[in-house]
Homo-oligomer: A and B are copies of this chain.
Amino acid sequence: MGSKVGEFRKKLKIVDVKGGPNEGLDRVGLMIVVAGWVRTLRAQSSVTFIEVNDGSCLSNMQCVMTSDAEGYDQVKSGLITTGASIWIQGNVVPSQGSKQKVELKVNKIVLVGKSDPSYPIQKKRVSREFLRTKAHLRPRTNTFGAVARVRNALAYATHKFFQENGFIWISSPIITASDCEGAGEQFCVTTLDFFEKPAFLTVSGQLNAETYATALSNVYTFGPTFRAENSNTSRHLAEFWMIEPELAFADLKDDMACATAYLQYVVRYILDNCKEDMDFFNTWIEKGIIDRLSTVAERDFVQLSYTDAIELLIKAKKKFEFLVKWGCDLQSEHERYLTEEAFGGCPVIVSDYPKEIKAFYMRQNDDGRTVAAMDMLVPRIGELIGGSQREERLEYLEGRLDELKLNRDSYWWYLDLRHYGSVPHAGFGLGFERLVQFATGVENIRDAIPFPRTPGSVEF
Residues of A within 8 A of B (CB): 1-11, 13, 15-16, 35-38, 54-56, 83-85, 87, 112-116, 118-119, 135-137, 139-140, 144-145, 148-149, 151-152, 155-156, 159, 163, 165-166, 168-178, 185-191, 194-197, 199, 201, 208, 211-212, 214-217, 223-224, 226, 228, 230, 238-239, 241, 248-250, 253-254, 256-258, 260-262, 300-304, 308, 311-312, 343, 349, 392, 413-414, 416-424, 449-451, 453, 455-460
Contacts and interface: CB of A to CB of B under 8 A. Distances in A.
Interface of A: prevailing SS: mixed
B217 A13 contact: yes
Contacts of A4: 300-303
26 contacts: A2-B343, A3-B302, A4-B300, A5-B301, A6-B253, A8-B165, A8-B260, A56-B166, A83-B421, A136-B413, A139-B211, A139-B215, A155-B159, A156-B163, A172-B450, A173-B451, A173-B458, A174-B239, A175-B201, A177-B458, A189-B201, A195-B456, A196-B456, A199-B458, A223-B224, A413-B459
A123 B68 CA distance: 80
A123 to B, nearest CB: 14
Contact of A460 (B13, B165, B191, B413): B413
Given A8-B257, A155-B159, A212-B450, 16 more contacts: A2-B304, A3-B304, A83-B420, A85-B423, A114-B421, A136-B413, A145-B216, A170-B450, A171-B449, A171-B450, A173-B451, A174-B201, A175-B453, A188-B190, A190-B190, A195-B456
A211 B304 CA distance: 46
Given A185-B191, A194-B230, A458-B176, A215 B5 contact: no
Contact of A137 (B36, B135, B211): B211
Contacts of A420: 83-84, 113, 115-116, 119, 137
A6 B257 contact: yes
Contacts of A451: 172-173, 208
A211 B453 contact: no
Contacts of A115: 419-421
A38 B54 CA distance: 55
| Stoichiometry (number of copies) | 2
Contact of A422 (B16, B85, B163, B343): B85
Given A175-B458, A199-B458, A194 B8 contact: no
Contacts of A148: 168, 170, 212, 215-216
Given A156-B169, A159-B156, A187-B191, A392 B139 contact: no
Given A215-B37, A451-B173, A191 B188 contact: yes
The 3 closest A-B pairs by CB, nearest first: A55-B216, A113-B422, A8-B261
A362 to B, nearest CB: 18
